Chains A and B, each alone.
Chain A
Amino acid sequence: MLNQLRPAIVVFVVLAAITGLAYPLAMTGIGGAIFPAQAAGSLIEKDGKVIGSSLMGQEFKGDTYFHGRPSATTGTDPQDATKTVPQPYNAVNSMGSNLGPTSKAPSDRIEEDAEKLKAENPSMPVPVELVTTSASGLDPHISPEAALFQLPRVAKARGLPEDRVRALVSANTEGRLLGLLGEPRVNVLALNLALDAAK
């Protein structure tokens, strides 16, 4: 048994150096050289300041912006460090609600949100992902239907013709890859940036 102690230690050390240092560091170097934007986190800058990442959802509350999905992420209470409070789109603490199908809490929340959305736009059915929290709490996308649902509100708040906003929504809609994989979606941050640019 002792004669295997040396291989156990040496093989471990060498393979750890290869897989735990050489491999990730080489990948960091090569990845950063070939795909610098992606490797850094697909960051978006505006006037020299980072305003977010094109892959990361962020919170939108105002009427002039399209809203993303409800987010269940939490963070430390700024008033009291021992407490955890809801902090939607907290990108250093990803999580879902983890509430199940027979749990009362999400059921009440969904009913309440659906009522509010119905009042906002009675002409369309409420899209399901506008009342359900995403898995990561950082979902950057909504479905095209969820964007169209919010369109009258945004157009009115901005004083833009609905057709103009509709054109922006379709310009920012991504289809399925090769018509097969994934779901059609709209990147909320990209759409809102396009809105700001359209002023």
Chain B
Amino acid sequence: MTLIGWIQIALFCAVILVLTKPLGGYMTRVFNGERTLLSPVLRPVEAGIYWLSGVDAKREQHWLSYTVGMLLLQVVGLVFLYSLLRLQDVLPLNPQGQSAVASDLAFNTAVSFVTNTNWQNYGGESTLSYFSQMLGLTVQNFLSAATGIALAVALIRGFARSSMRTLGNFWVDLTRVTLYVLLPIAVVFTLLLIWQGMPQTLGAYVDASTLEGAKQSIAVGPVASQVAIKMLGTNGGGFFNANAAHPFENPTALSNFVQMLSIFTIGAALTNVFGRMVGNPRQGWAILAVMGVLFVAGVAITYWAEASGTTTLQALGLSGGNMEGKETRFGIVASALFAVITTAASCGAVNAMHDSFTALGGMIPLINMQLGEIIVGGVGAGLYGMLVFVVLAIFVAGLMVGRTPEYVGKKIEAREVKMAMLAILVLPLMYLGWTAVAVVLPSAVASMANAGPHGFSEVLYAFTSATGNNGSAFGGLTGNTFFYNLTLALSMLVGRFFMIVPAMAMAGSLVEKKSIAASSGTLPTTGGLFVGLVIGVILIIGGLTFFPALALGPIVEHLAMISGNLF
């Protein structure tokens, strides 16, 4: 670990903190339907969409119809993307002549992008046409992100409104987020990425003859426009197989820094939106503080583990840390930082191969995902995931002092706690359950690339990542098999929608409650005590759920490594 490394980490945190408030303010205006700088250009487009689709922008929806609308959009997106992948061989913009995607892989990929997971069982440059990348993946990058943000805003309204029945209009929230928030930032971001060296062309792959006279075919494509929204929307599905480690998908230190920022910016700003909408910005900062503490702890451990290197490297006297699966231009610190960011948020883009991380360095990404990706988290998903934990923490605190728990003026009662528990319990059921199935199926075991505990970690990581809608991988696992394509797709669907529906039900029940003023008996939810309480609840619930599985994977692997056992 070096001083310059820590300065890079500190700089990252500082820029996120600086961006949180102004972006939170802008997004609040967008969700409230107020006029913004971009309104003169975008208002007519927005009005046109409502007119064409027959949406009455002034009519708000009950939680159930908000949720049904959201689910219908997912079905349309899924059918469209699946068809597109199956038909890409006869569709335009396919200069490499990629063939139609096989049915199980197309299903897995369609689910993966609709659920904002972006798990890659496909290799971008070797499987997909430019048309599929643009009209298939890029569209879902926008819409799945916009869906997550819309849902988070609906839940925020549940807390913020008093004695009402409606949570807003899904179609309006979706359209506004896409047009006013995601699209403008993506345009500026794309140009910056192209400037840094990211290709943006519809031309075919380039054939080069190298200095030593060999042939090298170089994959290019409309990369920058897809990558900008991939990061901003915490999607993470790469244009190329190697994702953000590929020199075209992340050419420079600057492109890397901005990509890291873009993963966290909107998620962090949503905590500010929450604070503003419930009428006390400090409520938002308290939530961001919970996220910040867990984040910095994770970065410190991963950075330390990767900088220490492996016993093999240490025995040979090779200093400089564990550079296996890392790029020279990023080095140890930017790779470790990126890994923690991408799994804390549900992004899943990688600029280094997590499979080659040290046991403890790779365990932190795994833990980040198993906690439910609430450390800033996916755009929208992170906030509603965190609010679920907050409800639980408040409930535990209420039990301790024997009072009905309250949060931002709303009484937390049986229905909210039941919904919170449902959302929290479904995740481990998927990732632990399927991991257990996979490790006893010989055909599934055959997909592991590494022997010993690391192979187990690969499988656990895959199902954790799919359930958490993250999408990063211990990439050695051969996931493109019938078993994994199907079970991972199922994990992604359950992980996304069994989180969303209970959260929306909670929003529906909260919005009908009357907001009550804080009294002397109310637990203040803006101070250090509250922050500590939420962190405690997250770690206890998380720890009890997945510690046994971690003991079989990364923990035993670390012990094997320091005692010199190789597999």
The answer to whether B211 and A58 have CB atoms under 8 Å apart is: yes
> A1: nearest residue on chain B (CB-CB)?
B68
Q: Which residues of A contact B355 (CB under 8 A)?
A: 96, 98-100
Contact B450 A20 (CB under 8 A): no
Shortest CB distance A27–B (Å): 4
A68 shortest CB reach to chain B, Å: 9
Contact in complex: A94, B242 (CB < 8 Å): yes
- Is the CB–CB distance between A96 and B72 below 8 Å? no
Contact with A along B366-404 (1 / 0, CB 8 A): 000000000000000000000000000000000000000
Q: Does B475 contact A (CB under 8 A)?
A: yes
Q: Tell whether B69 is near chain A: CB-to-CB under 8 Å.
A: yes
Judged by a CB distance under 8 angstroms, whether A34 is at the interface is yes
In the complex, what's the smallest C-beta–C-beta distance from A188 to chain B, in angstroms?
10
Question: Is the CB of B331 closer than 8 A to any CB of chain A?
Answer: yes
Given contacts A93-B125, A177-B253, A182-B331, contact A132 B324 (CB under 8 A): yes
Decide if A52 is an interface residue (CB 8 Å cutoff): yes
B100 at the interface (CB under 8 A from A): no
Cβ–Cβ < 8 Å partners of A148 in chain B = none
Knowing A38-B196, A96-B355 touch, does A135 contact B211 (C-beta < 8 A)? Answer: no
A49: chain B residues within 8 A (beta carbon)? 209
9 other A-B residue contacts (CB within 8 Å) besides A18-B45, A19-B229, A182-B256: A7-B53, A8-B73, A11-B55, A34-B194, A39-B199, A102-B561, A103-B567, A128-B319, A182-B254
User: Could you list some 6 contacts between A and B, CB below 8 A?
Assistant: A11-B53, A31-B190, A94-B125, A94-B242, A127-B320, A139-B247
* Assembly CA distance A52 to B449 (angstroms): 32
A42→B566 CA distance, assembly (Å): 42
B300 within 8 A of A: no
CB proximity of A93 to chain B, nearest CB, Å: 5
- Could you tell me the distance between the alpha carbons of A26 and B166 in the complex, rounded to whole angstroms? 38
| B residues apposed to A, CB below 8 Å | 4, 7-8, 11, 45, 48-49, 52-55, 65, 68-69, 72-73, 75-77, 80, 123, 125-126, 134-136, 138-139, 141-143, 171, 174-175, 178-179, 183, 186-187, 190-191, 194-203, 205-212, 214, 216-220, 222, 224-226, 229, 240-242, 245-248, 251-254, 256-257, 309-313, 316-331, 334-335, 350-353, 355-359, 362, 449-454, 457, 474-476, 557, 560-561, 565-567
Contact B557 A128 (CB under 8 A): no
B444–chain A nearest beta-carbon distance, Å: 17
Knowing A19-B139, A65-B211, the reply to whether A98 touches B247 (Cβ < 8 A) is no
- The CA of A97 and the CA of B476, in the complex, are separated in Å by 8
A positions within 8 Å CB-CB of B: 1, 4-12, 14-16, 18-21, 23-24, 27-28, 30-32, 34-35, 38-43, 49-62, 65, 69, 89-104, 106-107, 110-111, 114, 125-129, 131-143, 176-177, 180-183, 185, 189, 192-193, 196
A112 to B168, CA, bound (A): 64
- In the assembled complex, the Cα of A49 lies from the Cα of B215 at a distance in Å of 12
Q: Is B216 touching A97 in the complex (CB atoms < 8 A)?
A: no
CB neighbours (8 Å) of B453 from chain A are 102
Q: Output the nearest chain A residue to B305 by Cβ-Cβ distance.
A: A101
Chain B residues with CB below 8 A from A20, complex form: 134-136, 138-139
Output the nearest chain A residue to B362 by Cβ-Cβ distance: A100
Contact among B123, B222, B316, B331 with A111 in the assembled complex (CB-CB below 8 Å):
B316
B323 touches A132 (CB 8 A): yes
Do B242 and A183 touch (CB < 8 A)? no
Q: Is the CB of A23 within 8 A of B353?
A: no
